[in-house]
A and B are shown apart, each in its own frame.
Chain A
Amino acid sequence: DVVMTQSPLSLPVTLGQPASISCRSSQSLVHSDGNTYLSWFQERPGQSPRRLIYKVSNGNSGVPDRFSGSGSGTDFTLKISRVEAEDVGIYYCMQGTHWPPTFGQGTKVEIK
C-alpha cells in the first residue's frame, strides 16, 4: 500500500498567522488517466471528517478560500493563509490514485 507521511504531526499556530502541512507519498500519485488524486480532510473536535480539497488543489464547495492545496508527484502541501479559531482540528491527506486509498497519520492544528 502507498504510505502517506505528514509533517509536522503537531502544529501550534497563532491566530491570523499562516500554517502549512506537508504530505509525502511513497509512490507517485499521478494516475494513468493523467490526474493526481490527492485530497485533504479536516476533522474538527467532536465532528466527522470533511473533505476540504480534492485533486491536489480543488476546493470543496463551502470551504473558505484561506485553504489551498498544491504539489505534484509525491510532495503535497496544505496551506491556511490566516488561521482562525474554527480551524483547530486534525488534518489528513489521502491518496486515491492507487488501491487501496490511504490516509496520512494526521496533523493536529492547535492555537498557541
Chain B
Amino acid sequence: EVKLVESGGGLVQPGGSLRLSCAASGFTFDIYWMTWVRQTPGKGLEWVASINENGSGKYYVDSLKGRFTISRDNAKSSLSLQMNSLRAEDTAVYYCARGGPNYGPANWGQGTLVTVSS
C-alpha cells in the first residue's frame, strides 16, 4: 500500500522558515516523480514544485522560485520542501504526492498545515 506521511508543518512568523518532510513507503520511491501541492480555501489546489526520479530536475511555480526548494533522498525514501521568507499567503495545507506534472499525482499524503502569522 502506498503511504505518504508529511511532517514539519506548524505556525511560523512572516519572514520565517520551515522544512516539510514526507516519508514514503509501499512503493519503489526512486522510480517516481514526486510533487508538493498546496490547498487553501481561497485559492483551491495549487501546484508548488516537482522533482524527477533522481533529483536532477526540479521544477517550481514561478511565484515560489527562489523561496522554496524541493529535494529528495532516495536512500531514505523521503521528500522535503524547504520554505524560506514565508508570507501570509503561503498559509495552506501542503500535500506530498507521488507523480509528476503530466498525469498529476496518483497518490497524496494526508497533508500538513502551515500557518504563517504573527
Contact = CB atoms under 8 A, between A and B. Distances in A.
A binds B: yes
Interface of A: 31, 35, 37, 39, 41, 48-51, 54-55, 60, 92, 94, 96-97, 99-106
Nearest to A61: B106
Contact of B61 (A48, A96, A100, A105): A100
B59 interface: yes
B108 A50 contact: yes
Interface of B: 44-47, 59, 61-62, 95, 99-111
Contacts of B61: 100
Nearest to B108: A48
A28 B107 CA distance: 26
Tell me if B's interface is mostly helix, strand, loop or mixed: loop
Contacts of A104: 44
Contacts of A60: 106
Contacts of B99: 51
A50 B110 CA distance: 11
A35 B101 CA distance: 13
Among A35, A48, A50, A99, find the residue whose CB has the most chain B CB atoms closer than 10 A. Answer: A48
Nearest to A95: B104
B101 A100 contact: yes
